[in-house]
Structure 1
């Protein structure tokens, strides 16, 4: 049951990653008014990826798929923000990393693992999220 959940979550992560990579990032607009475009566009693209991953897992009858669909992008954000020195991820690395993030989210949200294992699996992600996402927001210029 856990293996099936992880395989479906990894596949849904790849589908979500394909969705994110297909959005054109250049040529939307020019000028100073384009500053707000990423503030609106990025959350909409991530929301579309979450909904698509949720639908894929729902079709595969993964229980509590919404938790995995919301957790996968958070794990991917924590990892990519911490490793932000790699500004452009090669697609050969990007898809397996996103799939692994969704698999980790599936493991953490599964009832099959004991609570101690789930806490042990999610603790590094919390540290990476704090270090790579929250710290730069709280201390600009870092």
Structure 2
């Protein structure tokens, strides 16, 4: 899936896709896994270390659990639930909370606020002035 997506993105963007590792890029996934395994884990000094590392784990676990209701074969089902679609939506929505908790733990107002851009009913983006909690002025935000 990842290989096909990268090949298509390379085609759409008029550039070469992953074709440097292995025959036709067949070992690109292995090279990406090795690269991710040896990457440095950087945690900001001002954030809570435990929650900062737990938030991606919560998001990944909720993603895996959301697909636990999908039957693998007629005889092998991971979880046979009567409320399967409700469980799927609940677990898929839990990943959003993990990202929100992580942004709040980082203690940065801009990241915690997210992008407050909304299209107004008349089709325009309007900007209103805002300021940081410590009194510094901001450029404005779109509402």
Check whether TM > 0.5. no
Kindly indicate whether structure 1 or structure 2 has the higher relative contact order, using CA contacts under 8 Å at least 6 residues apart. Answer: 1
Structure 1 or 2: larger helix share? 1
Max Rg structure: 2
TM-score by length of 1: 0.32
TM-score by length of 2: 0.32
